[in-house]
Structure 1
Amino acid sequence: MTTTAPRPAAEAGGTPSRLVDRFGRPHRDLRISLTDRCSLRCTYCMPADGVPWLPRDELLSTDELVRVAAVGVSLGITEIRLTGGEPLLRPDVVDVVRRLAALEGPDGPPELSLTTNALRLPRLAGPLRDAGLQRVNVSLDTLDRERFVALTRRDRLDDTLAGLAAADAAGLWPVKVNAVAMRGVNDDEVVALTRFAVERGYQMRFIEQMPLDGGHTWDRTAMVSQAEILDRLSAAFTLTEVPGRGAAPAELWFVDGGPATVGVIASVTAPFCSACDRLRLTADGQLRACLFARTEVDTRVVLRADDGGPDATDALLAEAFVHCLAGKKAGHDIGEPAFVQPDRPMSAIGG
């Protein structure tokens, strides 16, 4: 069972967030999806074809998403992660980063990061860094070309590796590598992926597969757990737990004494809901309090209403943030009888 203990609203060393839920959790992290479209078709995320993309007129414009972000920052958001789909498919992604980097909150500008499949990073890593992006998370589930093609339904492994190198060269540090561990698919590569990352100065993160696939075929018995991942890693490396996790989703271990680390995001078997500080904005303007939320708060209708001018709009957007948090549950309830997988897949929510 997922439980949440109340936490103090104020955090040391920063301005207390005005975005505090009924369990006392301050929220400082906003994940913004720039698009639901993707250049890969990962088997655990979406079907090979027939994906119902969001209509373009329903997507937030850049002015709109920056406005929502600005209100969030004014309320205490200190970190913004750009996601998708594949966020680098958005034609004006560099301008989006530049405008978000210019926002100012009580604690200064937000920290900006981006999750990507890296295919467009060879061309965009430098411009994104110049615009104010600070770091990237790159999805890479296998180092084997045939497996990559089978998993993503695209022959783009070399492009992903080139994108990782481009991010490193551009100074988008730390470069984090995310892999979903899947039984009988890539679980035998846990050690190889970690060695690959450590040798290049990247930070490896393994993710327990979550019930967010487009086909709703997730099966917990087939999921590779954190315990299994750590067992495989411990057979090859000496792991020492890194203290001070805070609100980070990944639990970290030093590899062979450090400084390199490896992490596991164990959302299913070791949920971190009690420290969750994240809100999500979908590409079509829906605020979500949790990846597994069954309800959303519509900001697009506020943004496109001609109702009282800019100040009134910003006040209504602030109310939307507060209303979204008011409905946040103590935990995601995976494994509980009442759990129902959200209708939207991960690609339409934003990671």
Structure 2
Amino acid sequence: MLPLEDGFSRRFYYLRLSVTDVCNFRCTYCLPDGYRPDGRKSFLSVDEIRRVVSGFAAMGTRKVRLTGGEPSLRRDFTEIIETVAATPGIDKIAMTTNGYRLKERAAEWRAAGLTALNVSVDSLDPRQFHQITGENKLAEVMDGIEAALHAGFPSVKVNAVLLRGLNDGQLAEFLAWIRDKPIELRFIELMQTGEMDSLFRDRHVSGEQIKTHLLEQGWLQQLRGLDDGPAQVFQHSGSRGSIGLIMPYSKDFCAGCNRLRVSSVGKLHLCLFGENGVELRDLLHADLQQDALIQRIRVALLGKAATHHLHEGNAGMTPHLASIGG
């Protein structure tokens, strides 16, 4: 079967699949007032997840990232991992988590088939971590990262959203932390969303200054794989860990786009900063609908734009990052 390709000859090997938009943290850049239920939502069932992942796998998707909200809040999360892992063609299964259940579940998830982890750690200072996330849980999250490495994950990616005046001056501390650990620390530029305009104006800082510093210190930029995320990754001979920079405002950021998103209620999103999304759920009720599902995804992909419009201050219809899985 022909691989997924849009009108700009970009091919898509990577699916970000949200399994819930519920989160128990209150991060300033995402859900500062905490999770606010929007009616009685019914999130994708395990069978619906199996069908949508199978459809994407049939078109060449190799990697699935399970996101939220906080995906581990689902009681059937381990079953979801097992289901995705059993899908022919899928060889990488990752999750993005706030890490609060990682210490107790890392080994279980690894055994279920999870191959990669991204954990959010926005500061190494406990008080600042509490200020940013609304939760005083840095010690538990750090213990979870150690548990993941002990459980056999070859490395762990750690996400830190850059926030001016809060954590943008902590590069030295972060570099010291990863010097002897197999951790890819990823600094993510704060992105404008519908509910975060004022925070963006006050706290946005470009990752270019970190990139300049890394290059001056002898860090070398690595080549990007077909199903890698959007980070520019840098390595140094004196560090076991690496640094990734996600800079959505950088030139040609969208040129290498290789990922699509499906929300926790079954909508296909062609871009994190796009419009309302394309309904898929009506085609997830039975295995016999796979051909129609594949056709709908292919047709929708032809409408994918060349780039987002963040530079014009247009964040699309995304109210906050948890709404479609970041």
Q: Compute the TM-score of the two structures, normalised by the length of structure 2.
A: 0.92
- The answer to whether residue 149 in structure 2 is matched with residue 173 in structure 1 is no
Task: Give the 3 Å change call, closer, same or farther, for CA 88–50 of structure 1 in structure 2.
Answer: closer
For residue 205 of structure 1, give the secondary structure of its aligned residue in structure 2: strand
Deviations 1:218-249 (A, max 9, x none): 535742112222345467x4322224565541
Between Structure 1 and Structure 2, how many residues are aligned? 325
2:283·2:293 contact (CA, 8 Å) conserved in 1?
yes
1:30·1:280 contact (CA, 8 Å) conserved in 2?
yes
For residue 299 of structure 2, give the secondary structure of its aligned residue in structure 1: helix
Match of 2:9 in 1: 24
2:178·2:242 contact (CA, 8 Å) conserved in 1?
no
2:154·2:182 contact (CA, 8 Å) conserved in 1?
no
Whole-Å separation in 2 of the counterparts to 1:243 and 1:286: 32
Using the TM superposition, give the Cα deviation of residue 270 of structure 1 relative to its aligned residue in structure 2, in angstroms.
3.8
Return the letter of the residue paired with 2:175: T
Q: Compute the TM-score of the two structures, normalised by the length of structure 1.
A: 0.86
Whole-Å separation in 2 of the counterparts to 1:151 and 1:46: 11
Match of 1:150 among 109, 113, 131: 131
- The answer to whether residue 116 in structure 2 is matched with residue 135 in structure 1 is yes
Root-mean-square deviation over aligned CA pairs: 2.1
Whole-Å separation in 1 of the counterparts to 2:81 and 2:107: 12
Deviations 1:85-110 (A, max 9, x none): 011111111110111101113xxx33
Task: Give the 3 Å change call, closer, same or farther, for CA 150–349 of structure 1 in structure 2.
Answer: same
2:15·2:63 contact (CA, 8 Å) conserved in 1?
yes
Alignment of 1:1-351 (within 5 A): 17-49=2-34, 51-53=36-38, 55-56=40-41, 58-105=42-89, 109-212=90-193, 214-219=195-200, 222-233=203-214, 237-244=217-224, 248-256=229-237, 260-304=241-285, 310-311=287-288, 313-336=289-312, 339-351=314-326
Whole-Å separation in 2 of the counterparts to 1:23 and 1:47: 37
Task: Give the 3 Å change call, closer, same or farther, for CA 347–340 of structure 1 in structure 2.
Answer: closer
Whole-Å separation in 2 of the counterparts to 1:34 and 1:350: 8
Whole-Å separation in 2 of the counterparts to 1:302 and 1:155: 42
Using the TM superposition, give the Cα deviation of residue 262 of structure 1 relative to its aligned residue in structure 2, in angstroms.
1.1
